[in-house]
Amino acid sequence: MDHIFFFYFAAVIATTSLLVVALRNPVYSALALLIMFFHVAGLYVTLHAEFLAAVQIVVYAGAILVLYLFVVMLLSVTSEERYHNQLPVAGLLGVVLCTEIILLFFQSQATASAPAASVDPVAGPGNTELIGEALYSTYLFPFEVASLILLVAMIGAIILAKKDIHERVQ
């Protein structure tokens, strides 16, 4: 049963990620990415990360992708007619990375059969509570740094996108 779910999600994720790169119209690319985000969220549910699945849908599909679609509509981009002429470089890099992944995979299959963690999934606190505890105790400082990153990004985006911020000063 798990295999069926995994292969469904994996097939849709792989197909839509290919479509994101292959489709010529940026709106279609963004919509393919939307489908991919939803299926990644489904994959998170099968991996017992229910809270992250909800966050994935809310943040990625709800905020980030809407921002992309706003910009696409704002700039009224037409579909591009040809690919960039970096295709040989991309092909070379793709093949190299692909062989690297395959080699690593088979090497790990051959040598190390890593024992699974012997801890049984105990029916303790829920997923959200576990994440909250880890986030506010062990990872408190990175959490604050993340909020600082968001603040800096917000200020930077406003400064960059504002039209005549320098003229008004002078």
Partner 1 sequence: MTVPLSYYLILSGFVFLTGVVGVLIRRNIIVILLSVELMLNATNINFVAFSDYFHNVAGQVFVFFALTVAAAEVAVGLAIIIALHRANSSIYIDDLNLLKR
Binders in 94-153 for partner 1, by CB under 8 A: 94, 97-98, 101, 105, 108-109, 116-117, 119, 121, 127, 130-131, 134-135, 138-139, 142, 146, 149-150, 152-153
Question: What is the residue-wise DSSP string for 68-115?
Answer: HHHHHHHHTPPPPSS--TTHHHHHHHHHHHHHHHHHHHHHHHHS--PP
Rounded least distance, CB 81 to partner 1, Å: 9
Report in angstroms how near the CB of residue 111 gets to partner 1 at its nearest.
13
Q: Does 67 bind partner 1 (CB under 8 A)?
A: yes
Using CB under 8 A as the binding rule, the residues of this chain from 16 to 35 that contact partner 1 are: 17-18, 20-21, 26, 29-30, 33
Q: What is the dihedral of CA 34, 37, 41, 43, to 10 degrees?
A: 120
Give the separation between CA 55 and CA 106, rounded to whole angstroms. 34
Task: Closer to partner 1 by CB, 85 or 170: give it.
Answer: 85
Q: Which of 82, 110, 123, 141 binds partner 1 (CB under 8 A)?
A: 82
Residues 6+ apart with CB under 8 A from 38: 57, 61
Using rule CB under 8 A, residue 42 touches partner 1: no
Looking at the Cβ atoms of 74 and 169, the one nearer to partner 1 is 74
Cβ distance to partner 1 smaller for residue 121 or 169: 121
Kindly determine how many residues on this chain lie close enough to bind partner 1 according to the rule CB under 8 A: 79
The binder of partner 1 chosen from 110, 123, 163, 169 (CB under 8 A): 163
Question: Does 36 contact partner 1 by CB under 8 A?
Answer: yes
Residue 29 neighbours by CB distance under 10 Å: 19
Cβ atoms of 51 and 75 closer than 8 Å: no
d(CA 168, CA 5): 57
